Structure 1
Amino acid sequence: MVSSQDEPLFLHDDDEVTPAEYSKGFWKILIVDDDQEIHAVTKMALADVIISGRQLEFFHAYSGSEALDRLTEHDDIAMVLLDVVMETDDAGLKVAQAIREQLGNDEIRIVLRTGQPGYAPEESVVKNYDINDYKTKTELTRSRLLTTVFSAVRSYQQLCTINENRRGLRKIIHSASNLMEKHSIVNFSEGVVTQIASLLGLNAEGIVGARAPHKDNDILVLGAAGHFANSINKSLSTLNSDEIEKNVRKCLNEQRHIHTDTATVFFIDGQAHQAAAYIETKNAVAEYDQELLEVFLANIAVGFENANLFEELRTAAYLDPLTGIPNRAEFTRCLQVLSEKPDKDKMIAVIDIDHFSDVNDGLGQDVGNLLLRAVALRLTDQLGDKVFVSRISADVFGVYGPANIVTPNAFSELFALPFRAGEHYIPLRVTCGFASATNPESVNGKGLLKQVYIALKNAKNNSFDRYNYYEPSMEQDTQRRLHLVRRLRADFANRKLQVWYQPQVELKTKKVVGVEALLRWPQSDGSFISPAEFIPLAEYSGLIVEIGSWVIEEACRQINAFDEIGLPQLRVAVNVSVPQFRKRDFPELVEKQIEQWGIDPTRIELEITESIVMEDPDLVADILRRLKQQGIQVAIDDFGVGFSSLSYLQKLPLDRIKIDKTFVNNSDEKSGKIIIETIVDMARRLGLKVLAEGIEEQSQLDYFLGLDCTEGQGFFFAKPMPADQLICLLQKQMSYS
């Protein structure tokens, strides 16, 4: 729902948009907000807007990750109206950073909107993020929204025009004189010698020289022709000709042409660079030819200046200014070349520094920058000249080279020793993705980069070794996950998800004393998608917070329904996800549902996992205490699976421990029994109740009865079932009692 703070978008100021004729095409506007009404209101406010003869076309995203999906699908979006607080408090800020760094898009205009400015103060946001405007939703009357959109779209249009002109100029220069190639200055200089010689009707014999950078006393041969050809990129002194060196120096020092009986040195005067073209003429140049060459050299000066300028532009465009190594644009360009000539002996890799942000947060950005330079230096030094190394994102390096060099073992050795950053020696761990350059799928350079990133993501999620090689199935899995996320969002919005309940029983009597609320996603053919598959997708997409809140609401509603028909007062256990716990107002959200449905808070039990606790133990303990103050029960789910369970057990206000079914399955083995008996005894000493999960056999039930474990859950008693079946089961139980 839109809060009262958002109402200004409904207001109509005196300013009106004058209707105009419009041309073909649209300005694409992406609205990113987790509130559907914000989308509707914004679209309504901008419905008839025409800017520079074009209407607006709207795209929608409801979370940060979905926004990046839209931006990946549409690379010509002009403007993003971006909510700051969505699935996380800084989701919008992360999207803004990803647009500039991950997607490398500096044209799109970003306008942040927030209803909670305290989460992202304007001054710090503008300072730290490359955004174009920052508005609280209370500021955005229709008039101000229109002003913001007009300004952003026109700014985007101007940037696109500038960038298009630059691209056109580069194409012209490239096609005319090949200046954007690696040896463009060499080719240009050789052409100067050849053309001057041609104008004079001579064989091309000569050099073009200029003062070497940072070495004014040394003259470097930029280009050469004829018997001087082998002197390119060498010092003029290597020609071993005092006469040539003397005249070239004189030409540069006096800034004029030098004529002798056997040669002429032409002065090329650019605004920022000067050069001398030495041409063997055998005879003195006629006055008419000198005048002709003056005109030619005037153009040559411009061309020479452009050659230097474009070399500098190329350096700026394709080099990372922090580390001095190639950047993402150059890496992608080189991968494009590689994609056109696949090489089975080449391997592509990306190296992601794990938890690099901790260095910036703990030691400061200056130390972080020194660390990145140290990593770049070690990579280039130790991998050698045959390997191309680049920095393609804030803490990600791109590499390609011989497959026998670009290997996981090589990277492991590279990062085995700490890196020096100022006074600090910092150990680093990295995650790597690899892709072969054989390119069987005939993708372009960006496609190769996408493949290696898919391998990296797979390594982050699934690989114990912290690296993985790309396989086509990974991309298929990614496409399937994205498809499932879209379907999940649609089905949740259409209330097609269901909450089922699995009974929890008192072991001695087999009487149902509680149930666990479990999420189910039915399909049209009667099948179900496994929670093990769609719950991680819900967490990835940010939808888990909404779904989790809905499950809590359903549990409260169902308790109320049980009471209405006089069923036993059962507790209902609800699983809580990590993203839900990150929201500091989570206890208030639970309390609101309890009050709305008028139920006893002791009837609700929230199940948390060790992963939630380890995210931020102090924060979790504080939230649990607030929940306990309301009377809500708390259980640790899957206890003992992790390695840190004991360290936090005494610190948390718990009611119940659930023994994981992996231990229950091993209850017939000596080692399994030792662990189970230790957990039960420890829980008893701490005053905690114990519930055994996954009981499926009589022998398992008998074992836990012998341990004096009071409660259990599993297929031996009942499978998860819809609410109506649970009601029948409970009514049958009442009739027997």
Structure 2
Amino acid sequence: MSDSNDDLLTFVDEDLPPPGSSRECWRVLLVDDEPDVHAATRLALKGLQIEGREVAFEHAYSAAEARRMLGADDGFAVAIIDVVMESDDAGLQLVRHIREQLRNRALRIILRTGQPGYAPEIDTIRLYDINDYKTKAELTRVRLFTSVTIAIRSYAQIQQLEAGRHGLELILAATTELGKPAGMNKFAAGVVTQLCALLGVGEEGLVCAAMGEADRPPFVLAAAGSFTTWIGVALSEIPEPRVREGLERTLRSQRHSFDDGACLFFSNSRQQALAAFVDVRRPLSDIERGLLEVFCSNISVAFENVQLYLIINDLAYADALVELPNRNAFIASIAAREAEQDTVALVDLDGFSDINSILDDSFGDAVLQVVARRLRESFPASTRVARLGGDLFGLHGPAADITPVNIGAVFATPFVCQSGEPLRLSATSGLVRIDDAAQPAVEILRNAGAALKQAKSFQRGKALYFEPVIAAAARDRMHMLSRLRESFSADRLFLHYQPLVDLRDGRIVGAESLLRWRTEDGTFIPPDRFIPLAEQSGLMVAIGEWVMRTALKWRAGLKGTVDERFRVAINVSHVQFSEPDFVAGVLRMLAETGVAGYQMEIELTESVAAENTSRIVDKLGELRAQGISVAMDDFGTGYSSLSILQRLRLDRLKIDRSFISDGNDTHEPFGITRTIIKLAAQLRLHTIAEGIESEEQRQALLDAGCEEGQGYLFARPLAEEDFGRLLADAVDGRFRHR
């Protein structure tokens, strides 16, 4: 069939570029089982150019072959498909496969058939996503030209829309990815990657340069491909003039440039800027330029966020005073450790609180700064040095570097601070070896803290490695403290009372109140185990107030059954006595219970001597002014000096049970007892001995001049009811020996 308009087509004799050529062209797939149709179609459209690009044909001689080709390559613009091939509807099934299985919506499809009855035109166009459907007789050269041209233009528009959509998706993804917290180097490397993806080029030939750092001129911050060797190089030293000049021009003008490749500019509000160079050899399309504008606008916001993150990160992970990582950074370092970073040490300055209190905070800050500087200089870069708070520093690194010897060497020579005077310091350290790769950082730090605490208790100024038994003991203490808190809240603490007896006539002159703890399962916990724990935790203040109030109520309940001078002795811990309102609290409880001051005695240990002596004297003076007597418990086991004893103006010394012997005057402990009794007499203090278990001991103490005593010879500590029976059995208030 001929058409007069066919003569208007002009064909050229030059060969078309072969499939796969680097020259850009529109690729058209001819799908027909008749070879003559392939030849005629190619001849009809030979030399055709559309939108400045030539048309290149590839051939499939069956629907099955077309499926394989389209499945392996989605770069075809148009497919001209015969309907009837292996089967009556092979072409239609191929269209379904393209749209539904391959999900290729961009490929434009022209259906043609020599047997129109198998696929009516109206139904086919309605049911299938195609551009055109003609019989082979209708598809003349002109109409074939028209159909292919319209299809290619439609494909080009779809590609542009798809490129824009894909580009915007990439920009959105890039904005999300680059907006995540990261360092500047990672951010710059991300810009490299995202720009390459946006422009459809490999990660090659792109450089990102930074400027705005006060102490450093512009330099290469990140690069891709063969340009990675430039990372860290000053911008002025980049060996390729085209790249160097493009970046310098962009930074200078603060705007994008597309003259030779693409140079993009990013800035933030902190006078910092980045310039990215993309070595694109082809002209950029309008869509690409528009996408780059959007990309740069979004990434500038992300650039601002990165700077904010870095500032926040400095606040969260850096110690501004000593310019070292802080506790948060130290824990993160341990959590992200390498295998060779197997040792953690905590270094605590000895006596630093005295430096702050005696001098001032500014001098203390200067001390911390010089110590931090020397620690940093004394250990290699592989060791993380941090300040964890106060005067506590942390070290994390290889075991070969973090050793007691190396830590001691830091403090072997004096430090020089503000005044220029040399300052000698010592430090106590706790070290822990990391054996378990999965051990949490917080647990490792806790173990190092346990070792440090142990060292401060027994080896101050030295270093001690963590042992599992330390952790076990710490866990036991924490468990016991938790149980003690629970028991205190559940009223499972109670008092026993042990009589105080006049050694001369056996009169019961008072009773010492003794704290007892029985757990929920009925187990008794010795006081020497839980009282130190309560003192360390701060719980002793609340417990001590309860003990005092309970003992005074008990004494008030004895009115009429004991001598008016009968006193209740109450142990007061060093922690409790140090409370500013201690005296006021004692007087308030006396008033609440109706107990007279002379009916109460407070027992203090020699540890109160560690307090400010003037403050102690004032408090004791206020108590004694109300008639309250004061005894020093466990005398001889601490470190009281004679001058302190004279100034405290006590009423009584309690001789510790460790100095009570079997009554043999030649026995050394009893010799110390005789000395204490003589000393008390010189100081005009009364004496009372603890732990009397035999009549021989009572008589020896009486002969030595001791006035009062308590112990199993008279009675064990008793519950209220049992103590009441003891009083009832007494004859005229005198203890009856059994």
Q: Which TM-score applies when normalising by structure 2?
A: 0.65
1:628 counterpart (599, 620, 624): 624
Partner-residue secondary structure (3-state), 1:536? helix
The Cα of 1:383 is off from its aligned counterpart by 2.0
Alignment check: 8 A CA contact 2:193 2:203 kept:
no
- Please state whether the residue corresponding to 2:219 is helix, strand or coil: strand
2:706 equivalent to 1:709 = yes
Q: Which amino acid aligns with 1:346?
A: D
Q: Deviations over 1:163-186 (max 9, x none)?
A: xxxxxxxx9978558762584145
The Cα of 1:384 is off from its aligned counterpart by 2.1
Find the counterpart in structure 1 of residue 208 from structure 2.
208
Match of 1:149 in 2: none
> 2:51 — aligned with what?
none
Deviation of 1:671 after TM superposition, in Å, equals 5.9
Q: 1:555 aligns with which of 547, 551, 554?
A: 551
Look up the equivalent residue of 1:188 and give its one-letter code. Answer: G
Change (3 A) 1:428 1:298: same
Q: Where does the alignment leave 5 or more consecutive residues of structure 1 unmatched?
A: 1-170
Deviations 1:33-89 (A, max 9, x none): xxxxxxxxxxxxxxxxxxxxxxxxxxxxxxxxxxxxxxxxxxxxxxxxxxxxxxxxx
Partner of 2:407: 411
SS of the equivalent of 1:718 reads: coil
Are residue 402 (structure 1) and residue 402 (structure 2) matched? no
Q: How far off is 1:652 after superposition? A: 0.8
Report if aligned partners of 2:495, 2:514 keep a CA contact under 8 Å in 1.
yes
| Structure 1 equivalent of residue 321 of structure 2 | 322
Match for 2:376: what amino acid?
T
* 1:226-245 pair list within 5 angstroms: 226-240=225-239, 245=244
* Alignment correspondent of 2:103: none
Q: Corresponding residue for 2:335?
A: 336
Paired position in structure 1 for 2:691: 694
- Residue 398 (structure 1) shift: 3.0
CA-CA distance at 1:620 after TM superposition = 1.3
The one of 689, 708, 715 aligned to 1:718: 715
Alignment match, 1:49: none
Task: Measure, in 2, the Cα distance between the counterparts of 1:254 and 1:632.
Answer: 87
1:501 and 2:497 aligned: yes
2:305 and 2:523 mapped to 1: Cα distance? 67
Task: Tell me if the contact between 1:555 and 1:574 (Cα under 8 Å) persists in the aligned partners.
Answer: yes
Tell me how large the CA RMSD over aligned residues is.
3.9
Letter in 1 for 2:370: A
Identity of aligned residues (%): 32
Range that drifts further, 569-578 or 357-366: 357-366
Shift of 1:625: 1.0
Q: 1:656 to 1:238 in 2, by over 3 A?
A: same
Q: Distance in 1 between matches of 2:243 and 2:661?
A: 90
> In structure 1, what is the equivalent of residue 125 of structure 2?
none
Kept in 1, the 8 Å contact 2:553–2:593? The answer is yes
> What is the CA deviation profile of residues 548-572 of structure 1, one whole-angstrom value per residue up to 9, with x for unaligned ones?
2333334334444444225685333
Q: How does 1:97-496 map to 2 (within 5 A)?
A: 175=177, 180=182, 183-185=185-187, 187-188=189-190, 190-191=192-193, 194=196, 199=200, 204-211=204-211, 213-215=213-215, 218-240=217-239, 245-246=244-245, 248-256=247-255, 264=261, 266-271=263-268, 272-279=271-278, 291=289, 294-295=292-293, 297-298=296-297, 301-338=300-337, 343=339, 346-353=342-349, 356-423=352-419, 426-439=423-436, 442-457=438-453, 459=455, 469-470=465-466, 477-478=473-474, 480-496=476-492
Q: Whole-Å Cα distance in 2 between the matches of residues 593 and 298 of structure 1?
A: 73
How many angstroms apart in 2 are the aligned matches of 1:346 and 1:382? 18
Deviations 1:238-258 (A, max 9, x none): 545667545543442344566
Query: Could you list the per-position Cα deviations for residues 486-528 of structure 1 after superposition, in whole angstroms to 9, with x for gaps in the alignment?
Result: 5444544554432212233344555544332211123455542
- Residues of 1 paired with 2:203 and 2:649: CA distance? 93
CA distance in structure 1 between the aligned counterparts of 2:697 and 2:176, rounded to whole angstroms: 77
SS in 2 for 1:625: helix
> Contact (CA 8 Å) 2:350, 2:461: kept in 1 or not?
no
The aligned residue for residue 606 of structure 1 is: 602
Distance 2:279 2:580 in 1: 81
Q: Gapped runs of 5+ residues in structure 2? A: 1-172
| Letter paired with 1:184 | K
Is 1:683 matched up with 2:685? no
- Letter of the structure 2 residue corresponding to residue 210 of structure 1: A
Q: What is the deviation of 1:635?
A: 0.9
AA of the residue aligned to 2:328 = A
**SS, match of residue 564 in structure 1:** coil
Pick closer, same or farther for the CA change 1:411–1:230 going to 2, 3 Å.
same
The answer as to whether partners of 1:273 and 1:305 remain within 8 angstroms in 2 is no
CA distance in structure 2 between the partners assigned to 1:566 and 1:315 by the alignment: 70
Equivalent residue of 2:325, what SS? coil
In the alignment, the residues of structure 1 paired with residue 427 and residue 224 of structure 2 have an alpha-carbon distance, to the nearest angstrom, of: 49
**Higher mean displacement: 295-304 or 531-540:** 295-304
Residue 205 of structure 1 aligns to which amino acid in structure 2? Answer: G
> Structure 1 residues 599 and 237, CA, compared in 2 at 3 Å: closer, same or farther?
closer
Superposition deviation, residue 622 in structure 1 = 0.7
- Identify if the C-alpha distance between structure 1 residues 301 and 543 changes in structure 2 by more than 3 Å, giving closer, same or farther: closer
Q: Provide the residue aligned with 1:35 in structure 2.
A: none
Looking at structure 2, the residues matched to 316 and 596 of structure 1 have their Cα atoms a distance apart, in angstroms, of: 53
Matched length = 557
Return the alpha-carbon distance in structure 2 between the equivalents of residues 585 and 306 of structure 1.
52
**Structure-2 separation of matches of 1:550 and 1:304:** 61
